[in-house]
Structure 1
Amino acid sequence: MMNNKPNIPPLLIFTLVFLLPSLTLSTPPPRPERCYPEDKRVLLELKAYFGNNLTDFSTWKPETDCCNKWSGVLCKKIPKTNIRRVNFLEIIGSDNIVGPIPPIIGKLPYLETLILRLLPNLTGPIPPFIGKLTNLQYLSLNWDSLSGPIPNFLSQLTNLATLSLNNNHFTGTIPSFLGHLPFLSGLDLYENHLTGTIPNTFGSFTHKTFIDLHNNHLSGSIPKSLGQVNFEILDLSGNQLTGDASFLFGEDKTDLAHLILSRNRLSFDFSKVVMPVGELNSSLLILDLSHNQIYGKLPNWLGQAPLLYNFDVSYNRLCGTIPTVGGKLQGFPVSSFQHNLCLCGAPLPPCKS
């Protein structure tokens, strides 16, 4: 009679007996949840406010870690502790978010970034509790349907570096305190219904700055103080601004990349305007001065701006020969120069002798 029992070597039996328990013991324990309990409670209450069944919050599950598993949520370790607090909240691109900004967001005191964007049914004014989120560095409430004035309590956000409120229904004037926020370097207020003048305090910006105020109802002259600012982007187009804007140019504007002043009522002698040129000291990419009342001749430096790729001075009162120095201007279409008093030369028809 044959013996069908397998013949297991003694060495293998020894290995199994002593190794398997060690493998079991070496399995790491579950990682402890990093989400701070109070922050998690607040976020779940926020989810309930807008509707627990919304797919926008499908990853916000009570049994998972909000710091690791929830979309639009990030956490940051608090210095000298092992505690992580929610410092980033982003809710974007939903027609299902309906109503005003809920007060519960004000109970996330460690927020550094708050983004409520592309929410066409988010309505009402900016609520006062936003002013209590004093750790905010980036506040983006844009492409929504918010309304009312830009509130003064935003002056409490002294850590703010970027404020983006564009594409809403905000009214009233631009508050002067924005120019005094010590770290503010980015300001988007375009596509609103703002009126009045540009605050003189905007000349107090000390960082490389971008300001976009286009398509509002701003009027009056541009404050001379803005000539002191190291702009990278300045867009004041589509308003009702008047007077001189030549002080926004200058040989010290080596960081200026986008200057867009079109569709206003500005008037100055363009031939007296200077800018840095050359490969190493010019960053100008876009210059749009169209639809104003600018006069004089086109300065020669325009043809030597090495990076300039978008240029428009149409619908002004310019005259004289388009400069051929550097040859840059001859690469732009006729539409960039048309409807002036007497501009001539390539790409326009030749000048009359």
Structure 2
Amino acid sequence: PHTDCCKWRIVSCKKIPKTTIHRVNFLEIDGADDLVGTIPPLIADLPYLETLIFRLLPNLTGPIPQAIARLPHLKLVLLNWNNLTGPIPDYFSKLTNLATLGLNNNQLTGPIPAYLGRLSKLQGLDLYDNHLTGPIPDSFGSFKAGSQVTLSNNMLSGPIPRSLGAVNFSIFEAAGNQLTGDASFLFGESKTELAHLDLSRNKLSFDLSKVVMPVGQLDSNLLVLRLENNMIYGKLPAWMGQVPGLYDFNVSYNQLCGPIPTVGGHLQEFDPSSFSHNKCLCGSPL
């Protein structure tokens, strides 16, 4: 083509400092059902790329190419809602400027690489809806406050590493896996950033009675708390009724007992199905 590629709809360009040269720094292709094949190695010919988006491409298949490792300026990579296969490649560890990585809704297999927790600028990681196996890496305890990590609907197993208790996540979702053991350390009075916590549909077992969280309009950002379909026991702590913004709540199919807290009144706003199939929970709205 004879047109300037910087004028194409799917790209944008940025001027190289102290020059008159412009280079492609943004590439997005999405929603193209007629795009068939693999991610081309020629992607490496865009060395100034900062944003790479290939998503909603059901006929984009094959592994993630090593060519992406030759794009050191990448800050945002979204390769989601495709049909990519193979493992999460080790060469992503070279992308030290990466802040957001979305690989969700593919057919990826193998373990979650530990290096993902050591990328110092990474604060958004979406790996949900794949076929990933093995444990959650202990290195995920190195994520910064406000990070968003979603791992739901894979085949992850083993305990959640206690190192994650040191992180003030904004979003942490690991539903629909085979995780076991304690998760109480993901709560705490210091978790002022936490907005979404979804641990549902696992094999977790811990005493919910002893769990604490910040409450009140100024201290709590909690909007979503999903714990259903586990083996969690104890009582519902009183603070759960005092979280003003909580709109999605479910503790059904556990081993909980005792009265549903009425302090604050917010738990009474939820449907009885949010509390059903426990050992001996009682009170409104049941």
Q: TM-score, normalised by structure 2?
A: 0.99
> In structure 1, what is the equivalent of residue 217 of structure 2?
279
Give yes or no for the alignment of 1:121 onto 2:121.
no
* Structure with the larger RCO, 1 or 2 (CA within 8 Å, 6+ apart): 2
> In structure 2, what is the equivalent of residue 63 of structure 1?
2
SS at match of 2:139: helix
CA distance, structure 1, for counterparts of residue 184 and residue 19 of structure 2:
53
CA distance, structure 1, for counterparts of residue 93 and residue 180 of structure 2:
29
Question: Of the two, which has the highest radius of gyration?
Answer: 1
> In structure 2, what is the equivalent of residue 245 of structure 1?
183
> In structure 2, what is the equivalent of residue 79 of structure 1?
17
- More helix by percentage: 1
Q: Is the 8 A contact 2:118 2:142 kept in 1?
A: yes
CA distance, structure 1, for counterparts of residue 148 and residue 10 of structure 2:
26
- What per-residue deviation string (whole Å, max 9, x for no partner) do you get for residues 92-142 of structure 1? 001111111111111000000000001111111011111111100001111
Tell me the CA shift for residue 71 of structure 1: 1.3
- What per-residue deviation string (whole Å, max 9, x for no partner) do you get for residues 152-175 of structure 1? 011000000011001111100000
Tell me the CA shift for residue 219 of structure 1: 0.3
Give yes or no for the alignment of 1:196 onto 2:131.
no
CA distance, structure 1, for counterparts of residue 218 and residue 146 of structure 2:
18
Structure 2 residue identity aligned to 1:205: F
1:214 to 127, 145, 152: 152
Tell me the CA shift for residue 63 of structure 1: 3.3
CA distance, structure 1, for counterparts of residue 18 and residue 278 of structure 2:
65
Structure 2 residue identity aligned to 1:222: I
> In structure 2, what is the equivalent of residue 111 of structure 1?
49
Give yes or no for the alignment of 1:263 onto 2:201.
yes
Give yes or no for the alignment of 1:337 onto 2:268.
no
Q: Unpaired segments of 5 or more residues in structure 2?
A: none
Q: Is the 8 A contact 2:145 2:170 kept in 1?
A: no
Tell me the CA shift for residue 207 of structure 1: 3.9
1:97 to 20, 23, 35: 35
Aligned length: 286
> In structure 2, what is the equivalent of residue 298 of structure 1?
236
Q: Is the 8 A contact 2:153 2:176 kept in 1?
A: yes
CA distance, structure 1, for counterparts of residue 142 and residue 12 of structure 2:
33
Tell me the CA shift for residue 91 of structure 1: 0.4
Q: TM-score, normalised by structure 1?
A: 0.80
Give yes or no for the alignment of 1:159 onto 2:108.
no
2:79 to 126, 134, 141: 141
Q: Unpaired segments of 5 or more residues in structure 1?
A: 1-61, 349-353
Tell me the CA shift for residue 333 of structure 1: 0.3
Segments of 4+ in structure 1 off by > 4 A? none
